[in-house]
């Protein structure tokens, strides 16, 4: 079962038990303690899911920031290669080696 299906199942069972508590009580089963326990677990997993979603947003933002700063650093390094090439000439061995790294 997928996560959403499991969550839906828990919600459906809670709703059904609430709706049918009198039928269950008439047959000798009082579900209140189990419903309270299940509801507490559902609330806990809902909180954990919300925290997971917040962290996913933060991770996405961190990835964007990391990629942006990497692009800036790469651009600076590439510009430096071009500057050095201007001083030493494109046939210089150091320049050739630097350009090889750049691809």
DSSP state letter for 27: T
* Residue 35 burial by Cβ neighbours in a 10 Å radius (0-12, 13-18, 19+): middle
In total, how many domains does the chain have?
1
Task: Give me the pLDDT at residue 102, please.
Answer: 80
Please name which of 33, 34, 41, 36 lies closest in space to residue 7, comparing C-alpha atoms. 41
Which secondary-structure segment (H or E) carries 16?
A: helix 3-19
Ramachandran region, residue 29 (left: φ > 0; alpha: ψ -120 to 50; beta: rest): beta
Dihedral of CA atoms 35, 38, 39, 40 in degrees, nearest 10, equals 130
Task: Give me the pLDDT at residue 2, please.
Answer: 95
pLDDT tens, position by position, 5-47: 999 999 999 999 999 999 999 999 999 999 999 999 999 999 9
- pTM (predicted TM-score): 0.64
Q: Which domain holds residue 25?
A: 3-102
Token representation of residue 101: 């790294």
Q: How confident is the model at residue 77 (pLDDT cuts 50, 70, 90)?
A: very high
Q: How confident is the model at residue 75 (pLDDT cuts 50, 70, 90)?
A: very high
Q: Would the pLDDT of 78 be above 90? A: yes
């Amino acid at each position: 079962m997928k996560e959403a299906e499991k969550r839906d199942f828990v919600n459906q069972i809670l709703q059904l038990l609430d709706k049918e508590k009198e039928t269950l009580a008439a047959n000798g089963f009082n579900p209140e303690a189990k419903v309270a326990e299940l509801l507490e677990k559902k609330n806990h997993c809902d909180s954990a899911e919300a925290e997971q979603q917040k962290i996913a947003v933060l991770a996405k933002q961190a990835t964007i920031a990391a990629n942006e700063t990497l692009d800036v650093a790469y651009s600076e390094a590439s510009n430096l290669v071009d500057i050095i090439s201007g001083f030493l000439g494109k046939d210089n061995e150091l320049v050739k080696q630097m350009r090889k790294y750049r691809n």
